[in-house]
Copies of this chain bind each other. A is one copy, B any other.
């Protein structure tokens, strides 16, 4: 299978120009009432408005028509990796998200702590959503009980609440990741046995089933957290790195594990960000201090998504306005190309990610006249970039930065 990334990869050249890609997580929205305004349209955004008037706009579908992207596919798409071709398992995503490096042959597994009743029947698939502290306590207990299985080193990590990650470290022979879930995704039944779906995964299935048994044994004294469920096994994804694909020295400026993990997966340097939660000031500081060192910056803003997930329209509007206030500090760095885009929509009306296209803004010296006057869903329809798929974004940024050679003579 060949796609635009393969072509771009053969054309990319190193130059001095700098690209800043701002991802406003889940920024696309919906009106609460028929013909009403979305969160973006409701926000007062004088700086974004001014930028839009000298930019090219369009709309982007990250995966495809009608498809609601998860954060992983949404971001991979923005980074130019067609999410229908380049798939990262949830286990690998969780692992890299908490800073765990996977090696070729290893398998990472996404786990839930659960509450099991009589006859191992699942009472609660999330074990009453334990605190992160309780989670860490259980993880310490399990680490002591299951340091290895059949000579395969086992690593166990807290993710958050009921979520944890197990990494099986391959010794020589690579471990397969093609096996069935332990988590039945319903209560009232016992956990399932993991079954290998191919010969290479037979050893892994044995490891997983042994882990489940030994964990239940070790957790016998616990009231709520006395079982484990697994869903999502993954080996290490093999992607062309960002540097290899685009000849870009690339830096990630994000504060949440998932986004840092995604960026490191494609080979970006993940910069230190001071502060808690979205830490926008720390992000601007990291961007400014490292501006000379990289060709490409991925700058992530999280709260536009979280407020949408909370169904808080007014607060999402507010978070957009907060970004607008910060925008002049980004523009002051004079990026040759700046893009503002989302990794998916998260309308507060739906309290979840959605399939709606997200507005894309690109400003460079090489744009045509464009009739979009604001960075909103409605105005973006009038933009000159049209409605596109996510993997078009990086080639457009590379082209606008004059970092692509001509294709053919």
Contacts and interface: CB of A to CB of B under 8 A. Distances in A.
A38 interface: yes
Contacts of A371: 381
A37 B369 CA distance: 7
A367 B54 CA distance: 28
Given A68-B399, A71-B408, A356-B368, 10 more contacts: A2-B84, A4-B65, A30-B368, A38-B368, A70-B406, A70-B408, A72-B408, A73-B408, A88-B408, A387-B388
Nearest to A344: B406
Nearest to A91: B409
Interface stretch (A149-157, A317-325, A390-398): A390-398
A68 B384 contact: no
Nearest to A383: B381
Contact of A66 (B356, B381, B398): B398
A175 interface: no
A141 interface: no
Interface in A361-380: 366-371, 377-378
B404 A68 contact: yes
Nearest to A83: B408
Interface stretch (A123-131, A176-184, A213-221, A347-355): A347-355
A36 interface: yes
A389 to B, nearest CB: 8
Interface of A: 1-2, 4, 7-8, 11, 30-31, 34-38, 53-54, 59, 63-73, 83-84, 87-88, 90, 93, 232, 347, 349-350, 352-356, 366-371, 377-378, 381, 384, 386-388, 392-400, 404-409
Contact of A70 (B34, B35, B90, B409): B409
Contact of A4 (B4, B64, B397): B64
A392 to B, nearest CB: 4
B93 A395 contact: no
A64 B392 contact: yes
A388 B30 CA distance: 21
A396 B67 CA distance: 8
Contacts of A69: 406-408
A67 B5 CA distance: 11
22 contacts: A1-B2, A2-B84, A7-B84, A8-B66, A30-B368, A35-B53, A35-B54, A38-B369, A59-B386, A66-B394, A66-B395, A67-B395, A68-B407, A83-B407, A88-B408, A90-B409, A349-B366, A356-B366, A369-B378, A378-B384, A381-B384, A387-B387
